[in-house]
Amino acid sequence: MTRVSDISLRGAILGFEEYREFALRNIFDDASPFRILACLDDRLAFLVVNPFVVVEDYSFEIDDAVASNLGLTDENIEHVAVLCIARKDSPNKYAVNLRSPLIINTIEGKFQQVILQNEAYGMEVPFSVDKDGKAQ
């Protein structure tokens, strides 16, 4: 298993604005769709997943102010992640917030959580993962 180095990021998650310094960590098998967004200032971490693993045709537009704040261009949009809820009582069953993705520029080391106006995307969309780590 190859381990990707931690990616240092500065940004905020809605409801946790007092925390600004994070590391995006790949602590799972490389085939896993999951990553950990760990706060460097406190013992706080979020499970995140690429939304395209859950919904292949996931799409949205990024506000010009967000793109400017993150230093994004069409060529350097690096990653999109969504917060994931793991259900303790249901192994391999999860829910994601597709309405509030994290837009990440790993080159600049910044991210911003945005709230999409598209109501087609829910705040708690269920999905599961098979034994090979593939979303279903």
**Is pLDDT of 129 > 80?**
no
pLDDT, average across residues 1-29: 85
pLDDT in tens, 31-89: 788 899 999 999 999 999 989 888 888 888 888 899 899 988 766 566 788 999 887 77
Predicted confidence (pLDDT) at residue 1 exceeds the cutoff of 50: no
Say what the pLDDT of residue 48 is: 94
Structure tokens at 18: 């007092």
7-128 folds as: BH3618-like (2.30.290)
Average pLDDT, the chain: 85
Gap between the Cα atoms of 19 and 14, Å rounded = 10
Region label for 70, one of left (φ > 0), alpha (ψ between -120 and 50) or beta (otherwise): alpha
